[in-house]
Chains A and B, each alone.
Chain A
Amino acid sequence: MTSPPALVLLALCLDPPVPAPSATPSDAVEETAPVEALRYPLGARPVPDFLAPGDPFTLTDLRYDLADQDGTQHSFAARARFKDWGYFGAEAEGERRGLTLMTHRLSAAVFSESGTWDFSGGYRAHRFVLSADALLRGPGDRTWQLAPTLSVLVTSGLELSGRLLADTAKPGKEQRLVTDSGLGVHWQRGARLEVVGEVERSYSLIATGDENRTDRAALSAVAQIGPLELDGHGSVEDVEGRFPRRDYDLSVQARLPLTRRLVLEGGSENRLEKDVGELFHEYRGALTWYGRRFTLPRSGRVAERAVALARHAWETGEYELAVFDDDAIRAQRERLSLAGWREGYRDDMAALYRAQVAERPLPLFGIEARQQADALTGESVRVASAFVGVPWPPTLPWRATERSVPFLQVGYDHEWHTTAPTIDYRSGADTLSLTASLSREMDFVVRWSRLQPTALDVIRGVGVHQRFEASCVYARGR
């Protein structure tokens, strides 16, 4: 590859230099309120020992959800670390029950629901991940859906992947075994640019038994451009079959800090059909005021540390891309804590955790408006939301300090639905929620909704209904 385009491509694929973590204004912030100095309702939470083995089992996750609407449904999940071997989990939600396992290189899960069985497994090597899902259909149907995926990490920031979906039922007149296949590329240039591309071909049957062939190409990108975070997605979907069509999806989301504490968000999502025009749109705008400086996830110390940890892991034989949200970072830490080289990650993990705490968002007031319209159903929805947060230690929102942490958040949403547009049938929905964060690891959420019937609900005989939800989440080391 000596041609100029190839050189440019090679240059782009090479890992950009990672600036060494250095004293910056955000360091100064971190130094004024280190992890150990912060107090949560449950007390101080020092930096966890991410490498600590289970003793022999140590509970790492506990989740309970309750939903009450025309009957009560409970769901429960728990996960524990067993010594240094791995994580074992159990989940139950209604009729769905399952077990999970994650070790350094292997992962496995099995779930069953109403006679169907869902198996998954994966092997994570240095340069590739081979994984597969297998679904055994319900009682009376012994056919399988098999979905193998192979991902290859070419450089620390470039991943290529391919996947297939095979159906042993061979549906349709074509008796096709492979019903879906796709190729993907995932490229990261540091924290500030991430691009994901995918091409896919799939075959599906419509109710008449005829086959649709769908070709889809999608490109997504997240970019941090100065103070602005831009998240864009575009795709083209070409359907061949008895009723051919071409659809385009385009969405753009942006976040821009207007001041250190005030953040403006906006976005749009559109689905268009060639020659027809718009099928769906959603427009959204939000303004959030934080009790302390807000840092976008790809622009601060967390971003630097996340890239550094992933780079280090790659260099020492692990298959890791950089991740930037709290849950993905936690999952990555858990994987790396099982590696043979885990002691080598201790400082990087701790530094990343300290950066996460230092850059913790403290939202205290926010408003949001959203509007969407679906041309297929004729339904349009407008949503207005607002929330107020109370920090810990409790104080008035404008008196939050660098030592404040999130505690309570009360939110309210109102939705205006218009269905059956010719007769302009209007209904609404109200949702009230309360979130209590007792530490970084433990949240309680309760939510109550009251929904007036849409036109479709009236036809189906559904009247005004209410829904109550509650959940409790514990996630060790989050």
Chain B
Amino acid sequence: MPVGLSGWLGAGCAAQQSGPSAAAGSAADPTASPGDAIIVPKVNGGMNVHSLRCLSCSALDATIDPALVTLQLSAVYELGFDGIRIAAPFGDRNTFLSTVAYVRAARAVGIDAVVLLADFSGFTLAHALHRDESRGTVLKMYADVLATPPEPTAPGLGGLGPKGVGRIAFQILNEPAAFLGLPPDVYVQEILNPCFGDLGRIDSRIIVVSAAEVGNKAGPPRIRAMLEAGLEETTDRIAYHIYDEEVIALLPSHVRTIVWITESGAAGTPLHLPWVRDVFPEIRAQLPDVLRIFYYDLFDADQGVYRILDIQPAGGGYRAVVESTELHDYWSDRVRQAAAGRPIVPFSTLVPDVRAYFPTPADAAAFDAAFAEATK
């Protein structure tokens, strides 16, 4: 099933003029008449997105293909997600810069961006955040390049940032014991706590999200150790990952701050819909502090595991092919019901050319300067 730029959702909505009313706060413009197009109701939580910039280029190739950015972001927008979670690795310059485009464009259409400050491999960023001499420089670069709010693409986007754009959040590292060998208390005391302090001074609008731990049964004892080391006082949001239903009951049911589930999903396409339809409500019921769940993931290279759609070359461009059709239809139905039959403003209308959000030479220079400072 084609999605995204083909505008399937707009067509579907146009054909269905009746249904339940939109979720509170999801319709863009309360003054819009029933026939006016609206900003898509954001009713499906968050989505993990990989900062895909090209399908077959090498790591050294700096190409950012606007069609790929547009394809993924249009799917996120039109499927009614209110946030993306995307990695901005310090150890991979080209991927970092492509993330800039995703973050700015997403925020410009009212979608929050949770930027994961983490390297896919290696310890460059973790070491830089641990060192007093480099931490401030690195965080300031991230803030300067990624946290400045873009201008909204339309009025009434529904985002909670300035002028209705999406907010920015920085998640400090990913699964620190598993990816970095950081014991939970060391992570809280030697990495998160100083980062929280520095970011508060650099830009208080940045929401600081703690690293989640693995989403299996090894995770809850580590989360507990983080909490006992003072996690609640060193972050704005606590993050969990949940990939095993039994983990839900093992996580603390009440903490003293908001919880975001920054990754949750089921391995195997047939399990996707039951996971979102049945387990997501169970998470919210058992963990009342959870205000947001980011599904994992929109697209990745592994067929039939977690991804919702595949991206294939087509006619000099790309097309998205839905793999997880049941879940895709479930999300689409929720958007239709929330839209109450009103047409949806397509992504292409809001963002006619995503290159407007691409990184500038000044962004690249800021990255290079910070990288040189942190690694000297």
| Interface, chain A (partner B; CB < 8 A) | 206-208, 212, 242-243, 245, 273, 275-277, 279, 375-379, 419-423, 425, 454-456, 458-461
Q: Are B130 and A273 in contact (CB under 8 A)?
A: no
> Within B220-246, which residues are at the interface with A (CB < 8 Å)?
220-222, 224-225, 227-230, 232-233, 246
Q: Are B183 and A243 in contact (CB under 8 A)?
A: no
The winner among B228, B229, B233, B252 for most chain A CB atoms within 10 A is B228
B150 to chain A, nearest CB (A): 33
**Which residues of A have CB within 8 Å of B267?**
none
**Which residues of A have CB within 8 Å of B230?**
206-208
**Which residues of A have CB within 8 Å of B222?**
376
Which one, B127, B186, B217, B256, contacts A461 given CB within 8 A? B127
Q: Are B130 and A379 in contact (CB under 8 A)?
A: no
**Which residues of B have CB within 8 Å of A421?**
178
Does B175 sit at the interface, judged by CB under 8 A? yes
Q: Are A376 and B184 in contact (CB under 8 A)?
A: yes
B370 to chain A, nearest CB (A): 18
A245 to chain B, nearest CB (A): 7
Q: How far is the CA of A285 from the CA of B175 in the complex (A)?
A: 33
6 nearest interchain CB pairs? Answer: A455-B181, A419-B181, A207-B230, A420-B181, A206-B228, A378-B177
**Which residues of A have CB within 8 Å of B175?**
422
Name 15 interchain pairs, CB-CB below 8 A, sorted by A. Answer: A206-B228, A207-B230, A208-B227, A208-B232, A276-B217, A375-B218, A376-B177, A376-B225, A377-B177, A377-B183, A420-B181, A423-B122, A456-B180, A459-B181, A461-B130
Q: Are B123 and A279 in contact (CB under 8 A)?
A: no
Does B330 sit at the interface, judged by CB under 8 A? no
**Which residues of B have CB within 8 Å of A420?**
177-181
Considering the complex, give the chain A residue whose CB is closest to the CB of B129: A459
**Which residues of B have CB within 8 Å of A461?**
127, 130-131
Q: How far is the CA of A423 from the CA of B120 in the complex (A)?
A: 9
B220 to chain A, nearest CB (A): 6
Considering the complex, give the chain A residue whose CB is closest to the CB of B122: A423
B345 to chain A, nearest CB (A): 40
Which one, A275, A279, A454, A455, contacts B250 given CB within 8 A? A275
Interface residues on B, range: 35 or more
**Which residues of A have CB within 8 Å of B256?**
208
**Which residues of A have CB within 8 Å of B250?**
275-276
Q: Are A456 and B252 in contact (CB under 8 A)?
A: no
Which one, A275, A375, A459, contacts B126 given CB within 8 A? A459
Q: How far is the CA of A399 from the CA of B149 in the complex (A)?
A: 82
B22 to chain A, nearest CB (A): 39
The winner among B177, B227, B250 for most chain A CB atoms within 10 A is B177
Q: How far is the CA of A275 from the CA of B220 in the complex (A)?
A: 11
A-B contacts counted at CB < 8 A amount to: 89
**Which residues of A have CB within 8 Å of B178?**
378, 420-422
Which one, B181, B224, B229, contacts A456 given CB within 8 A? B181
> Given A376-B222, A378-B178, does the pair A459, B183 have CB atoms closer than 8 Å?
no
The winner among B183, B184, B246 for most chain A CB atoms within 10 A is B183
Q: How far is the CA of A292 from the CA of B39 in the complex (A)?
A: 87
Considering the complex, give the chain B residue whose CB is closest to the CB of A418: B181
Q: How far is the CA of A212 from the CA of B224 in the complex (A)?
A: 13
Q: Are A276 and B182 in contact (CB under 8 A)?
A: no
Considering the complex, give the chain B residue whose CB is closest to the CB of A456: B181
Q: How far is the CA of A461 from the CA of B376 in the complex (A)?
A: 12
Does B286 sit at the interface, judged by CB under 8 A? no
Q: How far is the CA of A379 from the CA of B218 in the complex (A)?
A: 12
Does B63 sit at the interface, judged by CB under 8 A? no
Which one, B179, B182, B190, B232, contacts A423 given CB within 8 A? B179
Which one, B179, B228, B229, B233, contacts A422 given CB within 8 A? B179
Does B121 sit at the interface, judged by CB under 8 A? yes
> Given A276-B221, A375-B218, does the pair A242, B252 have CB atoms closer than 8 Å?
yes
Q: How far is the CA of A422 from the CA of B351 in the complex (A)?
A: 38
Q: How far is the CA of A208 from the CA of B228 in the complex (A)?
A: 7
Considering the complex, give the chain B residue whose CB is closest to the CB of A206: B228
Considering the complex, give the chain A residue whose CB is closest to the CB of B174: A422
Q: Are A378 and B221 in contact (CB under 8 A)?
A: no
Q: Are A276 and B220 in contact (CB under 8 A)?
A: yes
B17 to chain A, nearest CB (A): 49
Q: How far is the CA of A419 from the CA of B177 in the complex (A)?
A: 8
B210 to chain A, nearest CB (A): 14
Q: How far is the CA of A330 from the CA of B298 in the complex (A)?
A: 70
Q: Are B218 and A456 in contact (CB under 8 A)?
A: no
Q: Are A460 and B130 in contact (CB under 8 A)?
A: yes
Q: Are A243 and B228 in contact (CB under 8 A)?
A: yes
- A376-B221, A422-B175, A459-B182 known; 18 new pairs, CB 8 Å cut-off, are A206-B228, A206-B229, A207-B229, A207-B233, A208-B256, A242-B227, A277-B217, A376-B177, A377-B181, A377-B183, A420-B179, A423-B122, A423-B179, A456-B183, A459-B123, A460-B190, A461-B130, A461-B131
Q: Are B228 and A458 in contact (CB under 8 A)?
A: no
Considering the complex, give the chain B residue whose CB is closest to the CB of A273: B221
**Which residues of A have CB within 8 Å of B121?**
423
Which one, A208, A273, A458, contacts B127 given CB within 8 A? A458
Which one, B131, B181, B229, contacts A378 given CB within 8 A? B181
> Given A276-B250, A376-B221, A461-B127, does the pair A454, B233 have CB atoms closer than 8 Å?
no
> Within B87-138, which residues are at the interface with A (CB < 8 Å)?
121-123, 126-127, 130-131
